[in-house]
Amino acid sequence: VPSRASSFVRTERLWDRHVAMARLGATAKGGVCRLALSKEEIPARRLLTQWGRALGCTVASDPIGNLFLTRAGTEPSALPVLSGSHLDSQPTGGRFDGIYGVLAALEAVEAMNAAGLRTPRPIEVVAWTNEEGCRFVPGCMGSLAFRSPERLATLLRAKDPVGLSVAEALAQVRAAEPDIPERPLGKRVAAFVEAHIEQGPLLEANGQVVGIVTGIQGTRRFEITVEGEDAHAGTTPLPARRDALSSAVSMVAALERLFQAGPSDIVRFTVGRFDVWPNAPSVVPGRVFFTIDFRSPDDDLLTRLGDQVASVCDANRKQCAVEIVETIRTPSIAFSGPVPEAIEAACRDLQVPYARIYSGAGHDAQHLFHITPTGMIFVPCEKGISHNERENAKPQDLADGARVLADVLVTLANS
Ligand code: HGY
Ligand code: MN
Ligand code: MN
C-alpha cells in the first residue's frame, strides 16, 4: 500500500544508524559501554538530536534528562503518541539493547515523512534517562520520574560509585546541550510503544520476527552492606575476626537456597555487584556491599520471598552488622488494549510472523503502563544473548520490527 509508512522503512538506513551509535562508547570486544549521563552518552544524545532535527522534529529535554524529538501533529492540542527506549547501556552492553527502540521510532518518523503522512496527534520519539540502573540506582529512572514527578528530588540525589549525583551528572550533560530547551517533567500522553530486542532465545528459535509482549515480570532490588572490621590476616585469630566477606558469602548462599527452593526455574535471583573493602590480600575484609536483583511474574512470590531477605541476611551476619535497603520494587504487569491490538493488526497486514511473548527483562514500558495505554514490540536477537558485548541482531529483523512500529504509530496517532 503506497501510502503506508511501513513501505518507506529502509533496512540499511536503520542498520547504519546502529553502526554509528555503536561507535559511541565502543568496547574492544565489539560491545558498548555508554553509562547513563556519561561522557560517552553526550555524543549519542547529540547524534540523535541532529537526526531528529533533520527530520523536522523539535527537540527538548526534561528535568531528569529525558530527551524528546517531537513530530508535529495537525492538532497540536491532541495528546501525543510516544515511542522510544534508552540510549544508556550496561558496562559490557550490546549494540542493540535500548538503542534499537529509539532508532526504530526515529525510522518510523522518517518513513512517515517519506510517505507524506500527517497525523492529528504529535508523535514523540523518546530516550529515557538511565534505564539500565548501573551507574545510578534505580534503573528506569527517567520513565519513573515521568510517571511520578514527585520522585524527582530523591532521584536527582542518587549518587554513582564515585559520589557524583544524578543532578551533577545531568548538569554536565545539559551544559553540552545549550541548544536543547527544557520542558516540564511529565505530561498526559495518548499511548506509548517501545520496540526492543527480546533478550531471550524464543523468537529466533521459533522463526518469528515480532513478539507482541504480553507483560513484564515484577522486580525487587536490594542493596546489602555488611560491616565487620579490617584486621591482619596473619595475626588475627578466628574468634576475634569480624570478617565481612565470610558473613556476606554465608548470606548469598542462604539467599540462593531461599530463592532457588522452588520446583521450577521461574524465580530469577542475581547478585550482580559484590564489592569488598579494603580488597587487599592480607587484610580481613571490614566491609562488603552487594546487590540483589530478584524477579518473578508472580507478585505473591515477590512478596513472600522478598520479605525474607532481611531475616536471612540477619541470620547469617555472624559477628558483623548488616544493613538492607530495598531500592526499587515494580509489580508484574500485563499489557492489553489498543496498543497490543494495533501491533497484532499491523503484523497481520504486513504478514510478519509474530507470537505473543512475556518479558523477563525490565523496560521503561513498565512505568508508562501505569499512566497510558502501553505495549511493546520485540524482535529477535542472536541466541538471546544480551547484557553481553556479543549481543547481535539481523538488519532485516530490526527493519521488520520498525515497519510494524511505523504502522502502529500511525494508527495510534490517528485514533
Ligand atoms: O535489567 C533489566 O531487565 C533491563 O534490561 N535493564
Ligand atoms: Mn533495555
Ligand atoms: Mn538492558
Compute the distance from residue 398 Cα to the ligand 2 centre, in Å: 15
Of all protein residues, whose CA lies closest to atom 4 belonging to ligand 1?
362
User: Which of ligand 1's atoms lies nearest the C-alpha of 199?
Assistant: 5
Ligand 1, residues at Cβ distance < 6 Å: 131-132, 139, 361-362
In the block, residue with C-alpha cell 590476616: 233
Residue among 363, 376, 381, 391 whose CB has most ligand 1 atoms within 8 A, to mutate: 363
* CA–CA distances in Å: residue 160 to residues 134, 157, 330: 9, 10, 22
User: Which of ligand 1's atoms lies nearest the C-alpha of 98?
Assistant: 5
Compute the distance from residue 70 Cα to the ligand 3 centre, in Å: 25
Of all protein residues, whose CA lies closest to atom 6 belonging to ligand 1?
132
User: For residue range 121-171, what is the model confidence (pLDDT) as tens digits?
Assistant: 999 999 999 999 999 999 999 999 999 999 999 999 999 999 999 999 999
pLDDT at 261: 85
Compute the distance from residue 362 Cα to the ligand 3 centre, in Å: 8
Compute the distance from residue 98 Cα to the ligand 2 centre, in Å: 4
User: Which of ligand 1's atoms lies nearest the C-alpha of 90?
Assistant: 6
pLDDT at 2: 59
Compute the distance from residue 272 Cα to the ligand 3 centre, in Å: 13
Q: What is the per-residue DSSP string for 262-320?
A: SSSTT-EEE---EEEES--TTEE--EEEEEEEEEES-HHHHHHHHTTHHHHHHHT-TTS
Query: What does pLDDT average to over the chain?
Result: 97
pLDDT at 34: 98
Compute the distance from residue 364 Cα to the ligand 2 centre, in Å: 8
Grid coordinates in use for 371?
499512566
Grid coordinates in use for 377?
514490540
CB 167 within 8 A of CB 65: no
257, containing H or E segment = helix 244-259
- The dihedral built from the CA positions of residue 182, 188, 193 and 198, taken in this order, carries a sign that is positive
User: Which of ligand 1's atoms lies nearest the C-alpha of 97?
Assistant: 5
Ligand at minimal distance from the CA of 359 is 1
Grid coordinates in use for 290?
552487594
Compute the distance from residue 328 Cα to the ligand 3 centre, in Å: 16
- End-to-end Cα separation, the chain, in angstroms: 20
Q: Tens place of pLDDT for every residue, the chain, 415 residues?
A: 558 999 999 999 999 999 999 999 999 999 999 999 999 999 999 999 999 999 999 999 999 999 999 999 999 899 999 999 999 999 999 999 999 999 999 999 999 999 999 999 999 999 999 999 999 999 999 999 999 999 999 999 999 999 999 999 999 999 999 999 999 999 999 999 999 999 999 999 999 999 999 999 999 999 999 999 999 999 999 999 999 999 999 999 999 999 998 778 889 999 999 999 999 999 999 999 999 999 999 999 999 999 999 999 999 999 999 999 999 999 999 999 999 999 999 999 999 999 999 999 999 999 999 999 999 999 999 999 999 999 999 999 999 999 999 999 999 999 9
Compute the distance from residue 196 Cα to the ligand 2 centre, in Å: 7
Residue among 87, 100, 129, 132 whose CB has most ligand 1 atoms within 8 A, to mutate: 132
Query: To 5 degrees, how large is the angle CA 118–CA 57–CA 198?
Result: 85
Ligand at minimal distance from the CA of 196 is 2
pLDDT at 76: 86
pLDDT at 1: 59
User: For residue range 325-368, what is the model confidence (pLDDT) as tens digits?
Assistant: 999 999 999 999 999 999 999 999 999 999 999 999 999 999 99
Compute the distance from residue 221 Cα to the ligand 1 centre, in Å: 12
User: Which of ligand 1's atoms lies nearest the C-alpha of 139?
Assistant: 6
Ligand at minimal distance from the CA of 388 is 3
User: Which of ligand 1's atoms lies nearest the C-alpha of 387?
Assistant: 5
User: Which of ligand 1's atoms lies nearest the C-alpha of 133?
Assistant: 6
